[in-house]
Amino acid sequence: MTTFVARRLLFMLPVALLVSFVTFMLIHLVPGDPARVLLGEEATPQSVAALRQQLGLDRPLGVQYGLWLWQAIHGNLGESIQLQQPVIQAIWQRLPVTIELGVASLIFSVALAVPLGVMAATNPNGRLDWLVNVTSLLGTAIPSFVLGLLLILVFAVFIRIFPPGGYVPFSEDPLGNLRDLVLPAVALGVGAVAVNLRQVRTSMLEVLHEDYIRTAWAKGLRPRQVNYRHALRNALMPLLTIVGLQVGAILAGTFVIETIFLWPGIGALTIQSIFSKDYPVVQGVVLLAALSYMAVNLFVDIGYRVLDPRVSYGK
């Protein structure tokens, strides 16, 4: 186990290094001189030169990257140009908002997908199965921003039960916070629900054909026990991988959903920073998003091994 984790970490090292390089190079994709783009057309040559020096753009590329990486490793992702504060601090302040939204929508997607998927699989070609199929098809085809706007329209304009947007911290107003959370979490989670539903249904159908399920039936167990205790446990394994991959989609989804629902999270920060050309912030968010996504998938791999001893990786 320890060797497995150690080897995985070792393999992650070159990948992480390349990830950081790609992120670093983002600012060099900007056509022309980044310093001039940042300061606008009217900037004096002196201020451009000063900013170039501040950003380290006057040094060779390799040196720039080395310095940037060295600082990043020490938790320094540079200064936000717009907010006049360290990037890491700007991200840290908004982290709880984004995590609340992301975790809520993940929980929503799994909590809805598992029971519905099991019911669909145990009664295939039934009415519920049909509904599940249609839902998962539509769920993957509707962009989250369209769904978000539709939800606002229905639940904030026609039936006024939820606010059309905004955010109250949980510590200030717990109930208000939860009320604010419902629509964005649903809008963000429906795409994941669709994928998870399909996954649970398919893997349940597969597992239900296994011999040990026949044995369970033959033992005279009740359907509930067979379906939930015997079948579901194994059928959920692939879902773990899917959910791990969904963290990336959810993270990207917060960019859109936070913008629509006016949540002051990392996603909204990134979109604002893109338009104010605050590249250090964009770089910081992209780097942290990639690293945390990598970490999540590492945990999923480890979790897989812990939960299913049959799985072994490599030699």
Partner 1 sequence: MANNTRRALSFRKLWARMHFFPGRLDGISFAQQPDFPGEADIAVSSAGGPLPTLLDLEVSAGARKAALPVRVLKEVREDPRWLFSIVLAVLVGVAIFAPWVAPYDPLAYHPAIAAQPPTLAHPFGTDSLGRDQLSRVIYGTRISLSVGVLSILIGGSIGTLFGLIGGYFKGWVDQIFTIIVDALLAFPSLILALAIAASLGTSIANLVIALAVVRIPIYARLARGQVLQLQGLDYVSAARASGTRTRKILFNHVLPNITSPLLVQATISISFAILDESVLSYLGLGSQPPTPEWGTMINEAQTYLFTDPWMMLGPALAIVVTVLSLNLFGDALRDRLDPRSWTGLSIRTRQ
Phi-psi region of 32 (alpha: psi -120 to 50; beta: other; left: phi over 0): left
Query: Measured from the CB of residue 171, what is the shortest distance to partner 1 in angstroms?
Result: 29
Binding site residues, partner 1, CB under 8 A: 14-16, 18-19, 22-23, 26-27, 29-31, 124-125, 133, 137-138, 140-146, 149-150, 152-153, 157, 198, 202, 205, 208-209, 247-249, 251-253, 255-256, 259-260, 270-271, 274-275, 279, 282, 285-286, 289-291, 293-294
Q: Report the DSSP beta bridge partners of residue 79.
A: 86
What phi and psi, each to the nearest 5 degrees, are found at residue 58?
Answer: -85, -5
CB 57 within 8 A of CB 64: yes
* Amino acid (1-letter code) at residue 48: V
Q: Measure the CA–CA gap between 91 and 251, rounded to whole angstroms.
A: 14
| Between 309 and 314, CB nearer to partner 1 | 314
Helices (H), 123-265: 127-141, 144-152, 174-207, 211-218, 223-224, 232-260
- For the bound state, the minimum distance from the C-beta of residue 289 to partner 1, rounded and expressed in Å, comes to 5
């839902």: which residue's tokens?
Answer: 135
Q: How far is the CB of 146 from partner 1 (least distance, A)?
A: 5
Tokens of 155: 């639940």
Residue 200 CB, shortest distance to partner 1, in Å, is 12
Radius of gyration over alpha carbons of the chain, in Å? 24
Which residue lies nearer to partner 1 by CB, 65 or 170?
A: 65
Q: What is the DSSP letter of 231?
A: I
Tokens of 68: 């940037």
Q: How far is the CB of 48 from partner 1 (least distance, A)?
A: 19
> Between residues 108 and 293, which has the closer beta carbon with respect to partner 1?
293
Nearer to partner 1, 167 or 279 (CB): 279
Q: Of 172 and 275, which CB lies nearer to partner 1 in the complex structure?
A: 275
* Residue 65 C-beta: closest distance to partner 1, Å: 15
Nearest distance, CB of residue 203 and partner 1, angstroms: 10
Nearer to partner 1, 23 or 105 (CB): 23
Q: For residues 110 and 196, is the Cβ–Cβ distance under 8 A? A: yes
Closest by Cα among 79, 96, 108, 274 to 184 = 108
Residue showing tokens 């022309």: 32
Q: Which is nearer to partner 1, 149 or 178 (CB)?
A: 149
Nearest to 279 by CA among 63, 68, 61, 4: 68
Q: Give min distance, CB of 170 to partner 1, in A.
A: 26
Considering beta carbons, is residue 15 or 306 the nearer one to partner 1?
A: 15
